[in-house]
Each structure stands twice: as C-alpha cells, then as structure tokens.
Amino acid sequence: MSESHPFSPPSFFRDPYPTYHRMRAERPVYWDEELGEWVLTRYLDVAAALRDARFSSDRTTAFMAGVPEELREAMIPFARMRANLMPLTDAPRHTRLRAPIEKAFAKGIVDARRAHAQGLVERAIDAAVQRGRLDLMNDLAFPLAAETIDALLGVPPADHDRIQGWAIDFERALAGGVPTVEALRAADAALFGLAGYLRGLVAERQAAPQNDLIGALVAAEGDGDALAGDELVGTCLVLLFANEGTTPTLLTLGMLALLRHPEQARRLRDDPTLIRAATDEMMRYDGPTQMLWRVTAGAVTFDGVTIPAGQRVNLVLGAANRDPARFPAPDRFDPARADKRHLGFGFGIHGCVGSALARMEAEIAIEALLRRLPGLRVAIPDDELDWHRTMGLRQLNALPLVWQ
C-alpha cells in the first residue's frame, strides 16, 4: 500500500476513527483503486451486506485468480483446504460446517471453562504483583486466550508454541496485497503443517474417546450432520485462528478504554455487575475486528452506486460501529449506552460462534484487574503505544501497566 493511502500512516493504526468518519461522510460507498476493492463505512450498508447472500464469503476463487500461473496447479490442495474453513464458505456448505460447532457451544462448554480461566487470571496477577509490572497483552491476555482455547479443544499445552509458529507463518505469508511465490509456498507449508498436526489429534480421539471439543466432534461422527475428516481439521484450524488475535485484543483495548476513562473504571470496580454491558461498549468503541471482506455474487446497488458482480468488498466494522446515524455521540465511551447492536462480532449467518468465550475471558480478567490492582494506569505515554500494522485487525503489541 502506498504511503498516501488513508489506511497506511502510523496515525491510522493509532486511531483509525477520524479517517473512518471522513470516508463515511465524503464517500460511504467507494471504489478503492489501490486496494482493488469497494469500501463500505455506514452502519446500515455494512449490516445490510452482512445479511445479503449476494455478498459471498467464498473468497477462494478470487484468491486463486491472484495466484501466479506457474503455482496454480500446486495450490489446488490449498484451495481445497480453504473449502473446509467456515468463514470462507457460503450456504449450504457453510451451514453444514457450522451446525456441529453451534451445537457444541450451546452445550455449556464456555461455562465449563470459567473456573480454569479465573485461575489463570489470578495467577497471572499474582506473578505481576511479585514483579511489580504487567504487560497486559503478553503476560495475561495472550496466554489466557491461548490456554483457554487449547483446553477447550483438547490441545496439549506443550504444543502451543508450535501451533502459534504455524499460525504466525501463515498470517505473515499472506499479509499484504497479491501474494508472491515465496509467500504462497510459506503459507502452504504452514497450513499443511498445522493441518497434519490436527489430523493427529483427531486420530487419537478416534482411537480413544476424550472429553474435549475435538473429542465431541469426533464422537458425533455417524450423526447425519457430523463433520468428515478434513472438515473436522478445518474447523479446529478456524477455532484456533479466530481466537488468536481477537480475544486478547478485546481484553487489552477494553482495559485501555477504561484506563483512559477513569470514572468508568471506578464505576465498574464499585459495581462489577456492569461488566457485561461494558464489554459490549468496548466491542463497539474499539473492537478487534475492524474489517471483513466479501465478494459480490451479483450486482448490488447502494444509494445509486452499483457494485458489479465478482468484486471484493471491504465492510469496515470499525466505521459502522462509530456511525453517528446509528450511535449518538459515537466517539464517547459510554458503558451505559442502551444500544448494544454493534457489529464487532459480525452479524448474520457468519456472526461469531465464539463470542461468549471471548466475553467470558475479558469479563473475568477486567473484574480481577480492577479489584486487585488499585490505581492501575498505563505505564507509557499514549504516543508510545506500539500498534500492530495489520489491515482489518486492531492490536497492540504490548500494554505495559503500573499500579500503586
């Protein structure tokens, strides 16, 4: 991306909202020549696109079209693997992939992880008290999210670093515009490394039942709608990836919003029952997933502008969540706000399956931090915060905190 693009300067990663406000006011539906995509920023348009089947989630055909000719043949297994990743599929395939996971989450697997998550949080704070400092992102949020999803799925903790290595290689390889040959080879290797590992976990559970999510999905084999081998592996992969960057960020940016609004932090500490409503406002005000992509399966018209079929569309959730036409005084962080219908977890058939898990972790951690570390504040000035430069995902590389 060129330096003159509005999504490029460091100031955009620090605070993207002035840019979003400008785009929404000046050209809410526009073709971005440089990114080769349409960009939508109004709440109503983004919400409409999320529930409109003409906005397809199957980005594989478009992705393969960008793959250099000489690699296309070799990338076919990669494309097949993508067909098992539920965020990249449309109905009816999507319905089939999603049903067993929805069923599993409805069975209380999130509540069953609550005590474990509480223990992890209390121990991370104990260690921080001993050290006298806490990097919220790396000392608490990342390990909490990783250990919770591992325990839920049934991934041995000792294997986590290996898994994270593959996930990082994969994301790094595909970050940026049209992938290079080397990037595609690296992404391919990472994805197949991880898939091979997960296949091993599935095989173990086929040999001997286990009481975890992979075990439950394996045990459902034989049901009419149970997932077959590669579908199961694809689903585990999605659950690991979908959690990795997002859940730690909800906790970190949520806490940052509270520390920038000390009167709200005090209210929450005095009345922890407000945490549920506060989490929704954190998601609206500065949520992890800022952008989602779709491809038009047919021509669609918004406000007299027609988006032709086969075009990539960027749905800017972060801009929709600050749309003044939907949320009065949208730049105000107000945990008591009555309207909770933000789009931070998406909306429609692809709406987040794991939102209850992410909320549970953020709520437990924020309640404990406010209770145990009085006078908590950010240890460095605002302009020294280190923002990750990833399109579509908002993330801090670290959040150093101090307390009295």
Residue with tokens 């075009």: 311
With binding defined as CB under 6 A, does residue 242 bind ligand HEM? yes
Nearer to ligand HEM, 277 or 402 (CB): 277
Q: Which is nearer to ligand HEM, 75 or 239 (CB)?
A: 239
Per-residue x/- mask for ligand HEM, residues 155 to 194, rule CB under 6 A?
A: ----------------------------------------
Binds ligand HEM by CB under 6 A, chosen from 151, 216, 239, 300: 239
Nearest approach in angstroms of CB 287 to ligand HEM is 6
Is residue 335 near ligand HEM by the rule CB under 6 A? no
321 binds ligand HEM (CB under 6 A): no
- Choose, by CB under 6 A, the member of 202, 357, 365, 399 that binds ligand HEM: 357
**Nearest distance, CB of residue 181 and ligand HEM, angstroms:** 28
The verdict on 391 binding ligand HEM (CB under 6 A) reads no
Contact flag: residue 246 with ligand HEM (CB under 6 A): yes
Among 46, 254, 345, 399, contact with ligand HEM (rule: CB under 6 A): 345
CB within 8 Å of 9: residues ≥ 6 apart: 3
56 binds ligand HEM, rule: CB under 6 A: no
Contact between 287 and ligand HEM per CB under 6 A: yes
Q: Which is nearer to ligand HEM, 242 or 278 (CB)?
A: 242
Q: Name which position in 113, 233, 354, 369 contacts ligand HEM (CB under 6 A).
A: 354
Shortest reach from residue 55's CB to ligand HEM, in Å: 10
Contacts of 304 (CB under 8 A, 6+ apart): none
State which of residues 19, 41, 56, 57 lies at the interface with ligand HEM (CB under 6 A). 57
* C-beta closer to ligand HEM: residue 240 or 370: 240
Helices and strands: H and E segment counts in the chain: 18, 10
Q: Among residue numbers 123 through 162, which ones bind ligand HEM (CB under 6 A)?
A: 149
393 binds ligand HEM, rule: CB under 6 A: no
Token pair for residue 237?
A: 């992969």
The correct pick among 146, 346, 366, 367 for binding ligand HEM (CB under 6 A) is 346
Give yes or no for residue 396 binding ligand HEM (CB under 6 A).
no
Q: Nearer to ligand HEM by C-beta: 197 or 293?
A: 293
Closest distance of CB 180 from ligand HEM, Å: 25
3-state helix/strand/coil string of the chain: CCCCCCCCCHHHHHCCHHHHHHHHHHCCEEEECCCCEEEECCHHHHHHHHCCCCEECCCHHHHHHCCCHHHHCCCHHHHHHHCCCHHHCCCCHHHHHHHHHHHHHHCCCCHHHHHHHHHHHHHHHHHHHHHCCEEHHHHHHHHHHHHHHHHHHCCCHHHHHHHHHHHHHHHHHHCCCCCCHHHHHHHHHHHHHHHHHHHHHHHHHHHCCCCCHHHHHHHCECECCCCCHHHHHHHHHHHHHHHHCHHHHHHHHHHHHHHHCHHHHHHHHHCHHHHHHHHHHHHHHHCCECEEEEEECCCEEECCEEECCCCEEEEEHHHHCCCCCCCCCCCCCCCCCCCCCCCCCCCHHHCCCCHHHHHHHHHHHHHHHHHHCCCCEECCCHHHCCECCECCECCECCCEEECC
**Residue 283: exposed, middle, or buried by beta-carbon count in 10 A (0-12, 13-18, 19+)?**
buried
49 or 187: whose CB is closer to ligand HEM? 49
If one asks whether residue 288 binds ligand HEM (CB under 6 A), the answer comes out as yes
Q: Cα–Cα distance between 221 and 232 in angstroms, integer?
A: 10
Per CB under 6 A, does 365 bind ligand HEM? no
| Neighbour-count burial of 136, counting CB atoms closer than 10 A to its CB (0-12 exposed, 13-18 middle, 19+ buried) | buried
Minimum distance, C-beta of residue 398 to ligand HEM, in the bound complex (Å)? 18
Is residue 98 a contact point for ligand HEM (CB under 6 A)? yes
Q: How many residues bind ligand HEM (CB under 6 A)?
A: 25
Q: Residue with the closest Cβ to ligand HEM?
A: 354
Residues forming the site for ligand HEM (CB under 6 A): 57, 86-87, 98, 149, 238-239, 242-243, 246-247, 250, 287-289, 292, 344-346, 350, 352-354, 357-358
